[in-house]
Structure 1
Amino acid sequence: MAQPDLADLDAFTAVARARSFRGAAALRGVSASSLSEALRRLEADLGVRLLNRTTRSVTPTEAGERLLARLTPALADVTLALDEVNAFRDSPTGVLKLNVPGAVARIIFPDLIPRFLKAYPGVRLEITAEDSFVDVLAAGFDAGVRYDERLEKDMIAVPLSGPQRFVVVGAPAYFAAHGRPVHPRELLGHPCIRHRFASGSSYAWEFEKDGEVIRIQPEGPLITTSVELELAAAEAGLGLFASFEGFAAAAIAAGRLETVLDDWLPPFTGPYLYYPSRRHMPAPLRAFVDFIKAERTRSA
């Protein structure tokens, strides 16, 4: 039996855990054909089939399951050993994979990420922006960003920003023609522009004042997954739009949109970076955590 290459063993674990060559390739930033070739070499070296492949699925054989169970902690130890050496560098190197909500990618990260990468030029960031709830560790990410109501248990959470808030906005011409609602229930009489997530769900508009919480599902002429289209429709006077204040900040500052019901929309806790509690943290993740903490201290 030929001695297997460590890179081929790592490729096998990636495909076996993702149950997909394309999925593993996307996470690793390589081509699916390169992973397929690595698996071909590994199976030839071992003389054993490790994966059952069909046009619809990839599943480990019994031998593959046993090898995966042994390799997972072993490769993790190798990664930690290499990362301990990384700690002796003046600046850490390596890949940091983050899973974040779309709002964070669009509102917070455009200012934060360029400064982090300039401070740590040896780190390569891979950021996936999606609003569906995923197990970030099982999906191959080093850390995730979520709001406190969706944080997973047994995770370390570091505040990523200060408080945020939602706003309801409309064009000045719209308010001149239709009036300004002063109570959330009045929105049921206004055309509203709705956001739909990639999962197909659409969130209720939630308001709170003096301990009273009101949730409504307004109707209107447009529902879309595109925030840019929603803002354009609101600026065109097609209806009212509710979203993160950061999305509409530029249009509000320019006078193209105005807010209503501000007293019903208090600030809420901003997002958190979260990651598993473990003694050995990868150097790129440690650098990012330290950077965020320093940013929060500087802006306090």
Structure 2
Amino acid sequence: MKVDLGDLNAFVVVARSRSFREGARLSGSSASSLSDAVRRLEERLGVRLLNRTTRSVVPTEAGEGLLLRLAPALTEMEAALDVVNGFRSRPAGVLRLNVPVSASRLVLPGIVPPFLAAYPDIQLEVIADDSFVDVLEAGCDAGIRYDERLEQDMIAVPIGPRVQRFATAASPGYLERHGRPEHPRDLLNHACLRGRFASGAMTPWEFERDGEVVRIEPSGPLTVRVGGAADLSVDAALAGTGVVHLFEGWLRPHLDSGALVPVLESWWQDFPGPFLYYPGRRLVPAPLRAFIDFIKGLEAAP
């Protein structure tokens, strides 16, 4: 039975993303062309592969079985073709990265412009997502995460600052009205601006000084989605609504301007910087190899 490889690839893209629209975005094609390709494949095979509704696209049992067997084969085909790319004078192609919002804001701005200038034939696509995903299932080549969220079978390369800090701050007006906390536990009596992960979890605020670690679960008038809505908590802090606890780099411009005032600075906790990670069980595509070599060069630079 002859089946068009393009139709098979279209099915994999749609089945992974659970959406014709998202599949079109990831593949650089149109939703209608993906729909036509999947329809042709279903007609050729004589079986429905996707259940479609106005809100979702879900693989059937036959579709799940095909996806399970097909995705690794297509991945190997892409890797084989990418060997040819290695013989080009300059690497070319699409590089897709899945990163937390904090990395897109604090790590990548100093890396992406010079990288794209050095490799004009590479197209970079960055998906900012604070939920932990399988980079291959998400259609990405690599991701950026912190050490505690890396899977054991991944290869990790340091990227960006190797030490970061969480900072706590409030506006001068808020501190004038409510007083300045002298100990982390004093924050239990303050209006604190919290963050919640997509999973629903709310991590405690953690502080450390002279070997003493203090974890608290403060409360307050505003809770935002970690990453995507963090700027709203910063804006609320600037307006005097409460105390914010976030990456120091995120708050630094406001701390330097005086719009926000450091709170409990001697208790701010350091943590290791992020890593670029990618699966070690497949050939590294040329655009990703170029990116890895580029960030290693930055790390080695004085």
- The answer, yes or no, to whether TM exceeds 0.5 is yes
- Tell me the amino acid that sits aligned with residue 43 of structure 1: E
1:151 match: 150
Shift of 1:68: 4.2
- Tell me the amino acid that sits aligned with residue 248 of structure 1: L
Task: Say yes or no: does 1:285 pair with 2:288.
Answer: yes
Taking the TM superposition and a 5 Å limit, the aligned residue runs for 1:81-120 are 81-120=80-119
Q: Distance in 1 between matches of 2:251 and 2:59?
A: 46
Shift of 1:189: 1.6
Instruction: Between 142-151 and 197-206, report the one with greater CA deviation.
Output: 197-206
Task: Say yes or no: does 1:51 pair with 2:54.
Answer: no
Shift of 1:169: 0.6
Task: Say yes or no: does 1:271 pair with 2:283.
Answer: no
Shift of 1:222: 2.1
SS in 2 for 1:169: strand
SS in 1 for 2:250: helix
TM-score by length of 1: 0.90
Task: Report Cα offsets for 1:21-54 as digits up to 9, x if no partner.
Answer: 344334323332211101222334x352251424
1:247 match: 250
Alpha-carbon contact 2:15-2:50 (below 8 Å) kept: no
Q: Distance in 1 between matches of 2:65 and 2:146?
A: 37
Task: Report Cα offsets for 1:100-139 as digits up to 9, x if no partner.
Answer: 1111111111222122111111111111111111122222
Taking the TM superposition and a 5 Å limit, the aligned residue runs for 1:123-162 are 123-161=122-160, 162=162
Percent identity for Structure 1 against Structure 2: 54
Gap change, CA 1:74 and 1:261, over 3 Å in 2: same
1:204 match: 204
Q: Distance in 2 between matches of 1:19 and 1:220?
A: 37
2:121 match: 122
Task: Report Cα offsets for 1:173-218 as digits up to 9, x if no partner.
Answer: 3333333212100111222122233444332111122332211121
- Tell me the amino acid that sits aligned with residue 180 of structure 1: R
Q: Distance in 1 between matches of 2:175 and 2:295?
A: 40
Taking the TM superposition and a 5 Å limit, the aligned residue runs for 1:28-39 are 28-39=27-38
Q: Distance in 2 between matches of 1:67 and 1:264?
A: 53
SS in 2 for 1:164: strand
- Tell me the amino acid that sits aligned with residue 76 of structure 2: D
SS in 1 for 2:182: coil
Alpha-carbon contact 1:169-1:257 (below 8 Å) kept: yes
SS in 2 for 1:268: strand
2:178 match: 178
Alpha-carbon contact 1:100-1:131 (below 8 Å) kept: yes
Task: Say yes or no: does 1:218 pair with 2:252.
Answer: no
- Tell me the amino acid that sits aligned with residue 85 of structure 1: V
Alpha-carbon contact 1:16-1:60 (below 8 Å) kept: no
2:299 match: 296
